[in-house]
Amino acid sequence: MSMDDRWPVWKLSLMLYVFAVGAVAINLFMLGLLGQAVGLPALSPVTALMASVVLGIPAAWLSGQWARHLMDEGANP
């Protein structure tokens, strides 16, 4: 496969953004529930979702890099 046929990381990241936001939101909400054990206030699902919209960007970028690496590894046996 030539270098021109490869999907760039930004395009992979854009496709994975929705999944990254969902994963970040679930993890933030669960972290908020765990925080109650040490006396922190609970994190509402809406707050976790709003924070995940921003925090999903670096998570999606890292997921895109990981997917690009796996695709490169699979193309070059």
> Which residue ranges make up each domain of the chain?
7-75
In the Cβ-directed half-sphere of 26, how many Cα atoms lie within 13 Å?
5
Q: How confident is the model at residue 59 (pLDDT cuts 50, 70, 90)?
A: very high
Contacts of 14 (CB under 8 A, 6+ apart): 60, 64
How much is the average pLDDT of 49-69? 97
Under 8 Å between Cβ of 64 and 12: yes
pTM: 0.85
Q: What is the pLDDT of residues 5-47, one digit of tens each?
A: 789 999 999 999 999 999 999 999 999 999 999 999 999 999 9
Q: Give the Cα separation of 77 and 66 in Å (integer).
A: 17
